[in-house]
Amino acid sequence: MTQARFITFEGGEGVGKSTQVKRLLVRLGRASIPAIRTREPGGTPKAEAIRAFILQGRPESWGPGAEAVLFAAARLDHVNRLIAPSLAEGKWVISDRFHDSTRAYQGLTGGVDDKLIRGLEELALDGHTPDLTIVLDMDPEIAFRRVGERQIEGALAATGDRFEKEDLDWHRHLREAFLTIAANNPGRCVVIPANQSEDALEQEIWDTVVRRFPELGETQ
Ligand code: T5A
């Protein structure tokens, strides 16, 4: 049996994280690797309740500092009740967003002090730093178009959630924030250009995962 690994997907809105998290889970299944898929904010009933509370709020409801604390509270429950127990059972955990999202959105883009961000990370992660973080990188204008098409198709509420209403410049800063985080954590993060077909992206992600965890290649 392979050692259970914790992989996170990060990046701006609509870059294809959810799509690729699902595809990676299928790939792991084909390699007979026990794995679960989860997301942030969310993943446990309490964290999902916090998700609904934050994301459905009006834009002026919370400042970035309060949001950072709320996301960390959700993360603490997620780590304690789902991520840590799953890893302990030998299951790989694939999460659609994790702590880098707080660092990027509320910290580097929202202006929350690094000391607070680091303190919240220490509290919520409790040592569970991801083994690999895949940062999907794309011009936000293209990502916006994708999300817009999805809204037209009705898969999202007509108004989208409040984070998707921020303006384009803000999302360009956000993109830079994720690239900065990746540059500061070269041993953990891999940046992958996301403006490619779903199939091509899936293959590049799988190649990256196998390169990082060569034991996976032996299972096929
Ligand atoms: N947040 C979260 C914080 O501020 N701080 C935190 O600490 C955390 C954890 C979460 C919000 O909360 C914020 C960040 C977010 O604003 P969310 O709904 O989970 O909200 O938001 P996103 O993670 O951005 O989810 P999205 O669904 O909008 O984006 P994804 O998951 O990146 O993209 P995906 O896979 O859903 O694809 C989007 C569309 O593009 C198509 C898909 O079919 C879909 O229609 N698509 C492609 N089209 C062409 N080519 C491809 N390769 C494609 N891949 C997908």
**Percent of the chain's residues with pLDDT above 70:** 89
**Percent of the chain's residues with pLDDT above 90:** 78
Q: Taking 90 as the threshold, does the pLDDT of residue 153 lie above it? A: no
Question: Does residue 15 have its Cβ closer than 6 Å to ligand 1?
Answer: yes
DSSP annotation string for the chain:
-PPP-EEEEEESTTSSHHHHHHHHHHHHHHTT--EEEEESS-SSHHHHHHHHHHHTS-TTS--HHHHHHHHHHHHHHHIIIIIHHHHHTT-EEEEES-HHHIIIIIIIIT---HHHHHHHHHHHHTT---SEEEEEE--HHHHHHHHHHHHHTTSS-TT--GGGGS-HHHHHHHHHHHHHHHHH-TTTEEEEE--S-HHHHHHHHHHHHHHH-THHHHT-
The whole-number pLDDT of residue 204 equals 98
Identify whether 215 is part of a domain: no
Given ligand 1 and candidates 19, 39, 55, 112, which is best to mutate, with the most ligand atoms within 8 Å of its CB?
A: 19
- 213 sits in the region (left: phi over 0; alpha: psi -120 to 50; else beta) called beta
Given ligand 1 and candidates 8, 17, 166, which is best to mutate, with the most ligand atoms within 8 Å of its CB?
A: 17
The whole-number pLDDT of residue 155 equals 42
Identify whether 217 is part of a domain: no
Identify whether 65 is part of a domain: yes
Identify whether 54 is part of a domain: yes
Ligand 1 center from residue 200 Cα (angstroms) = 18
Q: Taking 70 as the threshold, does the pLDDT of residue 2 lie above it? A: yes
Both structure tokens of 170: 């803000």
Say how many domains are in the chain.
1
For residue 130, the enclosing domain spans 6-210
The whole-number pLDDT of residue 220 equals 60
The whole-number pLDDT of residue 158 equals 43
The pTM for the full model equals 0.94
Question: Does residue 101 have its Cβ closer than 6 Å to ligand 1?
Answer: yes
Beta pairing class for 92-96 and 6-11: parallel
Inter-residue contact 210 to 217 (CB < 8 Å) = yes
The whole-number pLDDT of residue 218 equals 74
Ligand 1 center from residue 219 Cα (angstroms) = 31
The whole-number pLDDT of residue 217 equals 79
Identify whether 109 is part of a domain: yes
Per-residue pLDDT reduced to its tens digit, 45-94: 999 999 998 888 655 568 899 999 999 999 999 999 999 999 999 999 99
Identify whether 216 is part of a domain: no
Ligand 1 center from residue 157 Cα (angstroms) = 14
Instruction: Report, as an integer, the average pLDDT of 166-192.
Output: 94
Identify whether 1 is part of a domain: no
* Alpha-carbon distances, residue 218 vs 35, 76, 130 (angstroms): 17, 34, 22
| Cis preceding linkage at 193, omega within 30 | no
Ligand 1 center from residue 37 Cα (angstroms) = 15
The whole-number pLDDT of residue 156 equals 43
Closest CA to 40 of 113, 107, 124, 109: 124
Residue nearest atom 38 in ligand 1 by C-alpha distance: 14
List the single range of 12-21, 98-107, 119-128, 151-160 with lowest mean pLDDT. 151-160
List the single range of 48-57, 139-148, 164-173 with lowest mean pLDDT. 164-173
Q: Which atom of ligand 1 is found nearest the CA of 13?
A: 24
Residue nearest atom 45 in ligand 1 by C-alpha distance: 150
Residue nearest atom 55 in ligand 1 by C-alpha distance: 16
Ligand 1 center from residue 169 Cα (angstroms) = 18
Residue 90 sits in a domain whose CATH number is 3.40.50.300
Ligand 1 center from residue 131 Cα (angstroms) = 21
The whole-number pLDDT of residue 159 equals 46
Between 182 and 162, the more confident residue is 182
Identify whether 157 is part of a domain: yes
Q: Which atom of ligand 1 is found nearest the CA of 196?
A: 52
The whole-number pLDDT of residue 145 equals 84
